[in-house]
Homo-oligomer: A and B are copies of this chain.
Amino acid sequence: MSVASSDVNFSDEQMLGFYRDMLRIRRIEERIGDDAKAGNIPGAVHLYIGQEAVGVGFCSQLTDDDWIASTHRGHGHFLAKGGDSKLLMAEIYGRETGMCKGHGGSMHVADFSKGIIGANGIVGAGISIITGAAWAAQMDGKGAVGIAFFGDGAANQGVMCEALNVAVLWKLPVIFVCENNGFSEFSPSSTVTAGNIVDRAKPYGAAHEAVDGNDLIAVHQCAARAIKHARAGNGPSLIEARTYRLRGHVEAEVSFLGSKYRSDEEVAEWIARDPIPAFAKRVIDAGQASQADLDRIEAEIAAEVTEAVLFAEGSPYPDPATQGTNYMFA
């Protein structure tokens, strides 16, 4: 059976796949959050929890030949684009077996073999990098696209406008996906962002669309349009996906912030709009899956999480005697 959601029919399998992809990010990150609180993880950790529908909506339509660039909040994109959870976890644990052999950590997880240019510690940096990758894709001529995920805060970096301009002029196959979660760190968007971000595409003549970032189907359809537009050689799109991060900006924030920057009510409101339970309900209501199906997925993911953590915990730290100065130059 399949659900018709404004023109698009997804098979049961696809729907369950979306659910799995989102839940997988959620559970892995919940565990990362717990581990961070327990002091098992060095460095800062920024979780994607609450925003999973955006990453999954887009990445589920990409292949390894397509490129994505991500942000400081990059685990979700890494996983959605096919990144390995063991390698991710080991990296965040700073281990030798990590995706970047412990050299990068949470803010730098990347897997170039899967088209994951990587998380980035510099807000907005992925925008220019993906524009270059999209230029490469255009020259390759095989229809690959580049997608930069970035936040509403990052949209205030001038580079976004520079990129829109050049991408329109060169008709680059690139999609700028702004995940507007309402905050730049602790500053509410209204205090640091004038107007609607999606409108910033207009003066350049770039395609643009705003979408409910907590509605996987809506995101998926919007992504499909933008990807098609890009693959067809019609140039860039700017997508603004409205969403919310259900966790802190950074996991440690409660320990160092002197005051609150958002109300419990606001958080509660958005918990009520959590993309994952909403999607579960939708799948079940449509009869595309049973609770047992979802439970099975839950169990599979729990096993994956455990395996990833065991892998990470069981892995050695990189040995300073042989590592640490190897990779500056090829």
Residue ranges of A at the interface with B (Cβ–Cβ < 8 Å) = 156-162, 164-165, 168-169, 191-197, 199-200, 202-206
| A203 in contact with B200 (CB, 8 Å) | yes
How far is it, in angstroms, between the C-alpha of A169 and the C-alpha of B193 when the chains are bound? 7
Task: Identify the 4 closest CB pairs spanning chains A and B, nearest first.
Answer: A158-B158, A199-B203, A161-B161, A168-B194
How far is it, in angstroms, between the C-alpha of A157 and the C-alpha of B192 when the chains are bound? 20
Chain B residues with CB under 8 A of A195 = 168, 202-205
- Pairs A–B under 8 Å by Cβ, sample size 27: A156-B162, A158-B158, A158-B159, A158-B160, A158-B161, A158-B162, A160-B161, A161-B161, A161-B200, A164-B194, A165-B193, A165-B194, A168-B194, A168-B195, A169-B192, A169-B193, A194-B204, A195-B202, A195-B203, A195-B205, A196-B203, A197-B203, A199-B203, A200-B203, A202-B202, A202-B203, A203-B203
| A191 in contact with B169 (CB, 8 Å) | yes
How far is it, in angstroms, between the C-alpha of A196 and the C-alpha of B204 when the chains are bound? 7
Identify the closest chain B residue to A155 (Cβ).
Answer: B165
Chain B residues with CB under 8 A of A160 = 158, 161
| A157 in contact with B168 (CB, 8 Å) | no
- Quote the shortest CB–CB distance from A47 to chain B (angstroms): 27
How far is it, in angstroms, between the C-alpha of A204 and the C-alpha of B194 when the chains are bound? 5
Identify the closest chain B residue to A192 (Cβ).
Answer: B169
Tell me the dominant secondary structure on chain A's binding face: helix
Contact of A202 among B161, B164, B199 (CB under 8 A): B199
Chain B residues with CB under 8 A of A161 = 158, 160-161, 200
- Quote the shortest CB–CB distance from A124 to chain B (angstroms): 9
How far is it, in angstroms, between the C-alpha of A164 and the C-alpha of B195 when the chains are bound? 11
Chain B residues with CB under 8 A of A164 = 194
- Quote the shortest CB–CB distance from A190 to chain B (angstroms): 9
Chain B residues with CB under 8 A of A191 = 169
Chain B residues with CB under 8 A of A192 = 169
How far is it, in angstroms, between the C-alpha of A206 and the C-alpha of B195 when the chains are bound? 9
Chain B residues with CB under 8 A of A157 = 158, 162
Identify the closest chain B residue to A162 (Cβ).
Answer: B158
- Quote the shortest CB–CB distance from A38 to chain B (angstroms): 40
A sample of 8 more A-B contacts (CB under 8 A), given A194-B204, A197-B203, is A161-B200, A165-B193, A168-B194, A168-B195, A169-B193, A194-B203, A195-B205, A202-B203
